[in-house]
Amino acid sequence: MAENGAKATVTLTIDGVEVTVPSGTRVIEAAEHVGVVVPRYCYHPGIPTRPAQCRMCLVEVEGRPKLEPSCTLQAADEMVVNTASDTARTARQSVIEFLLVNHPLDCPICDAAGQCMLQDYAYVTNQLESRVDEPKRIMGRDRISDDILYFADRCVICTRCVRFMRDVAEDDSLIVAQRGDKAYIDTFPGRELDNPFQGNIVDVCPVGALVHEDFVFKARAWDMDAAASVCPGCPTGCNVTIDTKENQIVRVKPRHNAAVNSWWMCDHGRRHLVMTNRGVRAEVPLIRDGEQLRPVDWATALDWVAEQMEALGSPGGSAVVSPDASNENLFYVHRLLERLGVAGAAFRVAQGDTAALPTVPTLKLRADRAANATGVELFGGCRVDGLADGSEGNGSAVSGSEGGALVVLDDALEGAGEDFGGAADFFLYLGTRLPGAARNADAVLPIATFAEMDGTFTNFEGRVQRFHQALRPPGLARPGWMVLSRVLARLGDGEAVNEVRGAFERMVAEAPAFAGLTWDGIGLKGAPAAGSAAAAAAAAGIHGPQKADA
């Protein structure tokens, strides 16, 4: 195999199919190119070490006397690999039989059932009867960290978790304690598992041995619906899968994206995402009726808002937007502000601790605790510390006591005074929730959170990433772009948009920072925006709404 080092590619035959792969590729990865997934436990594409200890991926190579572990075997020219020969299959069956000797077979109460590699492979090998008469050894369960439970009896000792902590997180905190059938995973004596990325050991576990405590007994695998999404916890924008059951988020898992988060995500993101949709939500449009805010249907609310805006003309004013708003929402707010003559919106970003995963340079928990601060900046937003705290002269100081129009997009308005917005000619509040500071609003339009709609975020380096709807919005809440496109359509500006593709395409056509992107082109992996960090000068160029029209 060493002779092939100089060659760029090698060609081998796997299960009768010829495939050409870059030299150095392992057979288990080459097999995936021809659609053959070799059973595996200890091999994980995101973990660099390959101990070849589970013996599940043994394959037959013609001309070799014994089976070879395909996770460490380098593909070589003229190699003929057979992953499903009788010998390979028998070997696999024996491994499964050994694993089942002590496995409790508690699939009915195991949270991994339905997504368990032991269950899948045992099912394939069709061993319905155990040949073992001895009693099973019982170890029980252990709390391996403050939020992760370890069910030792279910463990297949693949050491993925140990190697994730050691080789990916570079935090040597997990070990395999004892040997043989008494082996189990534990922390070093006197040490605790306390790493900001430790949640990933649950995701790499091929069986149900490691389970998040907040997911234990919550949902069966087949009860859940999954949606591809993006974590809004920080500007990194880790790609995630949101698992929901009965319109509740029950679990968040990282989704592979080599350019952003590789296979991983941080624990802050998991917790944050589950909390995003909690709390009392704004569910019905409200319009000002004398002293009161009156609940009305959408048509009435939109007509009324459009009427008010028509009468208002272009009075200038101020705006506060949330850095968690999607690009499409920001675009439509931007259009609205242009009509009103408001120059640039203020936004505030909460700050938090940072954390880095040493072996994945792009994956960091960043200090900004918001998904789309970059997007707000691309639309000319001005970062401020507090509501009345904007620096002089940039047009973004919002104290809530200015005249003119005041537009707030889903900002919680912490620190706003009793009379916030009281002096404004027209105070429009678009929000997922209804904070007390919105009491002076002339109209409150309930909008969906990011988990309840489709859209895009721009991450810290300007990568535009799509997320998909995971939940139904509560009550009458609708996506912000859907609402605002209707307000603008009533004012003769564009058309009412019913799906996000239309909103995105209009944004791309009208906002230079996003020029050149296509909805399909972004796909599930994202694409860099024209006005991203790589082209920071271009980003500065669209500051100010006037130029966006050019």
Partner 1 sequence: MPGDVKVVERPRAESSYVRAAAKGMSITMRHLLSPNKKTQQYPDEKWELAPRTRGTHRMAVHEDGRAKCVACGLCPTVCPVNCIKLVPAEDENGERYAAIYEIDEFRCIFCGYCQEVCPVEAIHLGVHYENAEYSRERWVYDLERLVEQEHPVTALWDPQDPASQ
Give me the residues that bind partner 1 (CB under 8 A), please.
107-109, 113, 141, 216-218, 220, 222-223
For residue 10, what is the enclosing H or E element? Answer: strand 9-14
Q: How far is the CB of 141 from partner 1 (least distance, A)?
A: 7
Burial 169-198 (b: 16+ CB within 10 A, else e): bebebbbeeeeeeeebbbbeeeeebebbbb
Q: How far is the CB of 403 from partner 1 (least distance, A)?
A: 54
- Cα separation, 64 vs 67, in Å, equals 7
Q: How far is the CB of 109 from partner 1 (least distance, A)?
A: 4
Cβ-based nearer residue to partner 1, 223 or 385: 223
Cβ-based nearer residue to partner 1, 136 or 220: 220
Residues contacting 26, CB < 8 A, separation 6+:
50, 70, 71, 72, 73, 74, 75
How far CA 323 is from CA of 189, 267, 498, in Å, comes to 43, 21, 24
Cβ-based nearer residue to partner 1, 108 or 279: 108
Q: How far is the CB of 462 from partner 1 (least distance, A)?
A: 44
Q: How far is the CB of 220 from partner 1 (least distance, A)?
A: 4
Q: How far is the CB of 223 from partner 1 (least distance, A)?
A: 7
∠ at Cα 93 (92, 96), nearest 5°?
90
How far CA 385 is from CA of 81, 407, 422, in Å, comes to 62, 18, 22
Cβ-based nearer residue to partner 1, 210 or 265: 210
Cβ-based nearer residue to partner 1, 107 or 312: 107
Cβ-based nearer residue to partner 1, 34 or 107: 107
- Cα-only R_g, the chain: 28
Neighbours of 206 (CB within 10 A): 25
Q: How far is the CB of 48 from partner 1 (least distance, A)?
A: 35
Cβ-based nearer residue to partner 1, 107 or 228: 107
- Whether residue 289 contacts residue 431, with contact meaning beta carbons closer than 8 Å, is answered with no
Cβ-based nearer residue to partner 1, 151 or 427: 151
Q: How far is the CB of 104 from partner 1 (least distance, A)?
A: 12
Q: How far is the CB of 192 from partner 1 (least distance, A)?
A: 20
* β 405-409/426-431 pair status: parallel
Whether the CA torsion 230, 330, 441, 484 is positive or negative: it is negative
> What DSSP line would sit under 410-453, residue for residue?
S---TT--TTTTTT-SEEEEEESS--GGGGG-SEEEEB--GGGS
| Phi, psi of 316, rounded to the nearest 5 degrees | 75, -175
- Whether residue 376 contacts residue 411, with contact meaning beta carbons closer than 8 Å, is answered with no
For residue 319, what is the enclosing H or E element? Answer: strand 317-321
Q: State which amino acid sits at residue 154.
A: R
∠ at Cα 292 (286, 294), nearest 5°?
30
- Whether residue 273 contacts residue 242, with contact meaning beta carbons closer than 8 Å, is answered with yes
Cβ-based nearer residue to partner 1, 113 or 491: 113
* Long-range CB contacts for residues 437-442, cutoff 8 Å, separation at least 24: 437/400, 437/413, 438/408, 438/413, 439/293, 441/286, 441/288, 441/293, 441/408, 442/287, 442/288, 442/308
Q: How far is the CB of 108 from partner 1 (least distance, A)?
A: 3
Cβ-based nearer residue to partner 1, 216 or 534: 216
Cβ-based nearer residue to partner 1, 212 or 335: 212
Q: Which of 373, 357, 328 is nearest to 260 (CA)?
A: 357
- Cα separation, 54 vs 207, in Å, equals 13
Cβ-based nearer residue to partner 1, 100 or 412: 100
How far CA 493 is from CA of 96, 466, 501, 511, in Å, comes to 64, 25, 18, 15
